[in-house]
């Protein structure tokens, strides 16, 4: 299992660690309108899944804005999903305040379905650990980053390069 800290304190991750080459686990999360969303709803697309503890923090906000700004250059075959346990209402407010319209923010607050399926539930905090997953059009995981310190940034360039390799961009 991936080892992570949050503010330098060891954290217990709940769920199964996802590795490159395996089939991406399905999940059910909530869109900003409270409708259910699954991995299969974006079948046939390349998915960049950006996981953040809370959009209302500096690093999470920067991470989400970075991928929102990068979305246009990735093309129509790419979907960027940002998943946190923030309530859908808070995610909608954040998107409006940040003009984040090229990504989809999704809430895992109800069941932790995504968090447990991808091994990112921080047991001590009931938040999701910062991480990035890239899933190809055939639902195979091609890139994984569990950020070792929850207050650090992920490797944006490596994640975007992993998406570009799948889209020839």
Annotated catalytic residues are 60
Match 């304190």 to its residue by tokens: 9
CA pair distance 144, 158, nearest whole angstrom: 10
Q: No. of H helices and E strands in the chain? A: 4, 12
CA pair distance 27, 37, nearest whole angstrom: 8
Please check whether residue 86 is in contact with residue 54, taking contact to mean a CB–CB distance below 8 angstroms.
Answer: yes
Give the bridge partners for 131, in sequence order.
51, 146
Please check whether residue 100 is in contact with residue 63, taking contact to mean a CB–CB distance below 8 angstroms.
Answer: no
């Amino acid at each position: 299992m991936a080892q992570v800290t949050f503010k330098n304190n060891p954290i217990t991750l709940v769920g199964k660690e996802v590795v490159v080459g395996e089939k991406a686990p399905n999940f059910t999360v909530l869109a900003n309108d409270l409708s259910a969303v699954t991995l299969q709803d974006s079948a046939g697309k390349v998915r960049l899944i950006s996981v953040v503890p809370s959009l209302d923090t500096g690093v999470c906000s920067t991470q989400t804005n970075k991928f929102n700004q990068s979305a246009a250059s990735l093309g129509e075959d790419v979907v960027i999903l940002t998943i946190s346990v923030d309530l859908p209402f808070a995610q909608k407010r954040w998107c409006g305040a940040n003009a984040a319209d090229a990504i989809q923010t999704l809430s895992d607050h109800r069941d932790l379905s995504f968090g447990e399926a991808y091994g990112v539930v921080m047991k001590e905090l009931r938040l999701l650990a910062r991480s990035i997953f890239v899933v190809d059009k055939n639902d195979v995981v091609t890139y994984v980053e569990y950020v070792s310190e929850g207050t650090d940034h992920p490797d944006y360039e490596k994640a975007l390069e992993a998406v570009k390799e799948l889209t020839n961009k």
